[in-house]
Amino acid sequence: MARLTSTKAVQLWEGIARAHSSMTAAIEKDMPKTGIPLGWYEVLAHLRRAPNTMLRFQDLARIEGITDSGASRRLNQMIKAGLIDRHSCPTDRRGVYAHMTDKGWAAYEKAHAVFLRSLDRNLGALLEPGEADAVSAALERLTPN
């Protein structure tokens, strides 16, 4: 496989960053309709897919790409809003799990419907199915397991 030139690598990186910023901004414009910000929706989406709808605070921070303190702040706000609750880890006194509440499930369902419509409008309208498959395949290779 041929290596990218430095110029091409920079162009590619800048394109990925612009696309992410653009799509995030477009989706964030739709999220006020849900009553929760995009960052909270993303936490709920990760919890929805997790075993027993629970993840450690530090794992959520890593998945979300934010600091432990940033995750702690976000999760504490979500706890105050009643969307998640806190569970202690039975095997590690320092470990704390976030768990989605019934109110969190309802917020997720409402936000997910808006999120899907936003994706359809902001991605689906711009990419042909073959293009979407090619972009997905390329991004999959760039994402570590």
Span 72-116, pLDDT tens digits: 889 899 999 999 999 887 777 777 889 999 999 999 999 999 999
pLDDT confidence bin for 3, thresholds 50/70/90: confident
Mean pLDDT of the chain: 89
Span 50-66, pLDDT tens digits: 988 889 888 888 888 88
Nearest to 29, CA basis, from 143, 119, 135:
119
Instruction: Please state whether 30 falls in left (phi above 0), alpha (psi between -120 and 50) or beta.
Output: alpha
The reported pLDDT for the residue numbered 1 is: 59
In the chain, what percentage of residues exceed pLDDT 70?
98
The reported pLDDT for the residue numbered 29 is: 94
The reported pLDDT for the residue numbered 2 is: 67
- d(CA 98, CA 71) in angstroms, rounded, equals 11
The reported pLDDT for the residue numbered 145 is: 60
Cβ contact 33:115 at 8 Å = no
DSSP string, 87-142: EE-SS-TT-EEEEE-HHHHHHHHHHHHHHHHHHIIIIITTS-HHHHHHHHHHHHHH
The reported pLDDT for the residue numbered 15 is: 93
Cβ contact 43:75 at 8 Å = yes
Cβ contact 75:60 at 8 Å = yes
Three-state secondary structure call for residue 54 = strand
Scanning the structure block, which residue is given the tokens 């706890």?
A: 79
